[in-house]
Amino acid sequence: MGAQRRGETVIHTQLYLGCFLLSIWLDRIANELSI
Give me the pLDDT at residue 1, please: 61
Query: What letter would DSSP give residue 24?
Result: H
**Helix-strand-coil split of the chain, %, nearest 5:** 95, 0, 5
pLDDT 10s digit of each residue in the chain, 35 long?
677 888 899 999 999 999 999 999 999 999 999 86
Domain residue limits, the chain:
1-35
The Cα–Cα gap between 30 and 35 comes to 9
Query: What letter would DSSP give residue 27?
Result: H
Name the pTM for this structure.
0.63
